[in-house]
Structure 1
Amino acid sequence: MRGRLIGLTKVGMNTKLHAVTDTSGRPVRLFITAGQVSDYTGAAALMNGLLEAEWLLADRGYDADWFRDTLIYKGTKRCIPGGKSRKKTIKYDKRRYKRRNRIERMFDRLKDWRRVSTRYDRCPKVFLSAIALAVTVIFWL
């Protein structure tokens, strides 16, 4: 099955790390934003270089009509629950959505690295390079 999972979590102080993983939960692409920036910024950055995928699983933070339309245009099926502010509920495959735990496990493995979880580095470039080093080790383990 060709597939990608997309997820979002907060790592460290006032920083959001957006990640795309493969079906095994190994990180493929990363994007870091400031904590006060909308999740849609990370989604747009990751969508530009997203490889061909059959399914994309994402959390409520990525629920936007333009994001769903982009996925349809790319030919990717989506499994994104509707946000709480939506007036009309959106149906999604709950059994498939449970597979999103793989990306959460990847973020948990990333937080095992003390330098990443506590964010010692104040410079975003240095912090992202520490994340990249941790992700490289996680990818091959």
Structure 2
Amino acid sequence: MEERFVLTDAQWAKIEPHCLGKVGDPGRSGLNNRLFVEGVLWIARTGSPWRDLPPWFGKWNTVFKRYRDWVKAGVFQKLFEALSDEPDMEYAMIDGTVVKVHRHGQGAKGGPKARP
């Protein structure tokens, strides 16, 4: 299994209390909430379909069903709120790219024309 996490330990400590399926919660507990959240972040980061989820995150269908349950329960909104109090501005950037238009591409020619 690959041990590359997107979440830092400090971030995980903030969101862990909001996760469903912790030991002591009613119902069935998840095997590893952090690995599940990392799997969801992998999908979000890569834009890949669920079927392409690497096997070390678990069976894609199981991860998807759990994701769907968490969305219905509003868990991801709570996780976002827990992490958004201290935004990480390290990777914030502004793209100032300017592309010049060639001299004949500045507008439409001749205005509107009547169709016969």
TM-score (norm: length of structure 2): 0.31
User: 1 or 2, which has the higher strand percentage?
Assistant: 1
Larger Rg: 2
